[in-house]
Structure 1
Amino acid sequence: MITQKCRKFFAVFFIVVQICTVSSQSTVDDFISTTNLPNEDKLLKEPEQKENSLSIILSEIQKIQSNTANIELKLKKNDEIIARQNAELENKLRLLKMQVKEVNKANEQLIDYENQNTALNATINIKNEEISKLEKQINENYNERMETEKEHNSKISDLTNRLDECQRELEEKSELSERLYNCETKNNDVSYKLTDTEEYLEYTKSKLRECKTTNGKNYTETENEETPKPLAESLPSFCLNLTAGIHKIQIPKGRVSDVVCDGDGWMIIQRRINGNVDFNRYWQEYEDGFGDLNDEFWFGLHKLHLVTSSAPHRLRILIDGQGASSYNFRIGGAGEMYKLYKIRNYTDDADKYLFFNNDEEKFTTYDRNNGPGYDDRNCANYGYGGWWHSNYCGLNPNSQYDDLNRLVDSDRYGIHQITMMIRPSTNGY
């Protein structure tokens, strides 16, 4: 339809152009002469017809112009729509190309994955074969282990029975050991008395020999001569009025012993200087005493019991040569495991070292735990030496020395030397 209107438009336009061309000439006659009109009547009628057709043509031209403008607007809008669609198509084309590239890459990766999967499947098959072999070995080992366990269980049952028998034997031996210990204690007392008797006999024999050679007279012939005293009776019982050094004294129950006196009435019962003597010892050694009286030593629990039970005694402790604490001091006998009786600070000063924060405890060594705790909590098992230990494993005078030549657990005070000494007290217990 648009093509037909365009044709009409161009036809009208051509006629208008012709009219304008004729009007531009000088006269209508010239126009008539130039156009071979047939006759005048016809020409007279034609202007009216032409005017009518011209008005029709002009109205048609106006319609055509209006339609043309509308068509141009629509064409312009269509061009814009086409341009936008072309741009969108180009974008979609670019995206499609990118997607094609990605698909190609994905296909390549898929091919690689397929190759890898093939290799993995081959590896899995190999591993499955190995697993099958291992399962077979495990089953064989399990059967062997079950047989071995049966043998072990049988052996364990036999060992358990033997252990029960040993336990019963141990209990019987423990009773025998206790009885033997009591017998040894009595034997020690007898031995001490026998030693004193032997020393007394030797002393008596020497005096008899002296008497026989005096003025040619025999001891039996001497009249009004004083009978010599036994050795134990002629010795002092304490270090009172004795000079500093080693002396023999009479311990209660007739025993004679070498002791170290300080020259001021104190008898030294323990001395630590440099760690030359190991104080982590057996029960029997602590009971009897050990060490060198000229160096480091422990006097002995049995002798301490005899001395402190015979009369009230005072205990003094020196730290690096300086007086630290003073106590009223007494311990029980072997039957009480040398129990530490209530300690009272003699000077009423604060005991910063806490040597005796365990009143009424029994003496403990690493081979005989008489404390309140189990063996695994026995302080003597941790290198603290024999002492009246409780659950508190603090500093005590019998601790071992550390690498800095200090007593164990004395870091706060740095104790290098320690001395314990006793003498009779006038204040009582």
Structure 2
Amino acid sequence: MELEHLKAQITKSTTQTEDRCHPSPNEKFVAQEIQIPDSEFFKVVCHTKKSTESVYMMVYRKLYNSSKFNHTFEEYTRGFGNVGVMQKEEFFIGLEKLHLLTERNPHELWIFMYPSGHLKEIRCENFVLGSQSEGYMVKTLNGCTEDSSILSQGIKFSTFNRYEDENPLQNKATKLGLGWWFDSRVKRSTLNDAIVLKILRKN
């Protein structure tokens, strides 16, 4: 089973665990290795906001009209891409890691989009991603600064080879060439834009 194989790959016991980003004194964006308890270390991009001393974890970065996100459900579960600080580097840390991070500790979600080249920023106070058995559903998404039509609570994750859309006759993952939490409000033009997702641990 794919998930069991993934867990077997990452399972290691250590005396200390760090499952959050730490402030960087000199750089705004920095690559760090973190560790979910009982797992091996993996790389993430951390963003330190000096004005508030908040440290965000970048979990997803897609460039405009990218063709690099048409992956299988299994690849989305593991994560893919080149996790780095350069703006041209595209990646996703993986559904399973994102689930474990947000299920274990409270997190905010920050959504950055660039419609027509202009930055649109949405902050949601509470975000939890469900497990694989729940279809990596958006279990909690509330307290958003504005309507987050790109992402909705209660929607499961879909790819071209595993489709969970509310309308099974429309395989949006195949049509759009990427995996996402599709519902009727998600538009092609929105998902073609550059998208960055960051999480902020609240404790």
TM-score, normalization by structure 2: 0.80
1:251 corresponds to 2:36: yes
Instruction: Determine which structure has the larger strand proportion and give its number.
Output: 2
1:350 corresponds to 2:146: yes
- The RMSD of aligned alpha carbons is 2.4
How far did 1:285 drift?
Answer: 1.1
User: 2:123 — aligned with what?
Assistant: 326
Q: Give matches, 1:56-205, under 5 Å.
A: 183-193=1-11, 196=12
User: 1:311 — aligned with what?
Assistant: 105
1:420 corresponds to 2:197: yes
How far did 1:345 drift?
Answer: 3.0
Secondary structure of the equivalent of 1:368? Answer: coil
Cα-to-partner distance string for 1:192-245 (whole Å, 9 max, x where unaligned): 11xx35xx6xxxxxxxxxxxxxxxxxxxxxxxxxxxxx4xx1x53211324521
Secondary structure of the equivalent of 1:344? Answer: strand
Maintained 8 Å contact 1:252/1:310: no
1:281 corresponds to 2:71: yes
Alpha-carbon distance in 2 for matches of 1:364, 1:418: 17
In structure 1, list runs of 5 or more residues that go unmatched: 1-182, 201-229, 396-407
- Counterpart among 134, 138, 141 of residue 340 in structure 1: 138
User: 1:207 — aligned with what?
Assistant: none
Maintained 8 Å contact 2:150/2:185: no
What is the identity, as a one-letter code, of the residue corresponding to 1:421? K
Cα-to-partner distance string for 1:38-57 (whole Å, 9 max, x where unaligned): xxxxxxxxxxxxxxxxxxxx
What is the identity, as a one-letter code, of the residue corresponding to 2:93? F
Cα distance, 1:189–1:341 mapped onto 2, change above 3 Å: same
- Counterpart among 242, 254, 271 of residue 61 in structure 2: 271
User: 1:378 — aligned with what?
Assistant: 171
Alpha-carbon distance in 2 for matches of 1:276, 1:372: 25
Alpha-carbon distance in 1 for matches of 2:193, 2:131: 31
Alpha-carbon distance in 1 for matches of 2:18, 2:134: 28
Cα distance, 1:257–1:342 mapped onto 2, change above 3 Å: same
Maintained 8 Å contact 1:266/1:423: yes
How far did 1:271 drift?
Answer: 0.8
User: 2:163 — aligned with what?
Assistant: 369
Q: Percent identity?
A: 26
Q: Give matches, 1:190-229, under 5 Å.
A: 190-193=8-11, 196=12
Maintained 8 Å contact 2:150/2:190: no
Cα-to-partner distance string for 1:130-163 (whole Å, 9 max, x where unaligned): xxxxxxxxxxxxxxxxxxxxxxxxxxxxxxxxxx
Alpha-carbon distance in 1 for matches of 2:193, 2:164: 28
How far did 1:270 drift?
Answer: 0.7
How far did 1:292 drift?
Answer: 1.3
What is the identity, as a one-letter code, of the residue corresponding to 2:3? T
- Counterpart among 82, 92, 98 of residue 292 in structure 1: 82
Maintained 8 Å contact 2:65/2:194: no
What is the identity, as a one-letter code, of the residue corresponding to 1:240? H
Alpha-carbon distance in 1 for matches of 2:57, 2:120: 15
In structure 2, list runs of 5 or more residues that go unmatched: 50-54
How far did 1:309 drift?
Answer: 0.7
Cα distance, 1:245–1:315 mapped onto 2, change above 3 Å: same
How far did 1:371 drift?
Answer: 2.5
Secondary structure of the equivalent of 2:75? Answer: helix
Alpha-carbon distance in 2 for matches of 1:299, 1:379: 22
What is the identity, as a one-letter code, of the residue corresponding to 2:21? C
How far did 1:421 drift?
Answer: 0.3
Secondary structure of the equivalent of 2:70? Answer: coil
Instruction: Determine which structure has the larger helix proportion and give its number.
Output: 1
Structure having greater relative contact order (Cα 8 Å, sep ≥ 6): 2
How far did 1:263 drift?
Answer: 2.1
Alpha-carbon distance in 2 for matches of 1:245, 1:334: 29
Cα distance, 1:292–1:274 mapped onto 2, change above 3 Å: farther
Cα-to-partner distance string for 1:45-77 (whole Å, 9 max, x where unaligned): xxxxxxxxxxxxxxxxxxxxxxxxxxxxxxxxx
How far did 1:278 drift?
Answer: 1.4
Maintained 8 Å contact 1:252/1:307: no
User: 1:409 — aligned with what?
Assistant: 189
Alpha-carbon distance in 2 for matches of 1:335, 1:385: 21
